[in-house]
Structure 1
Amino acid sequence: MSRIVEEYKPGMIEYIPPEDHKKWMRETFEEKLAILKKFGHGDFEPELRKQFKLDD
Structure 2
Amino acid sequence: MGDSAWWSCPECGSYAELSAEETVGFTVECPDCRGSMVSQWVWEETSTAA
User: Scaled by the length of structure 1, what TM-score is found?
Assistant: 0.23
Which one has the bigger helix percentage? 1
- Bigger relative contact order, structure 1 or 2 (CA pairs below 8 A, ≥6 apart): 2
User: Scaled by the length of structure 2, what TM-score is found?
Assistant: 0.24
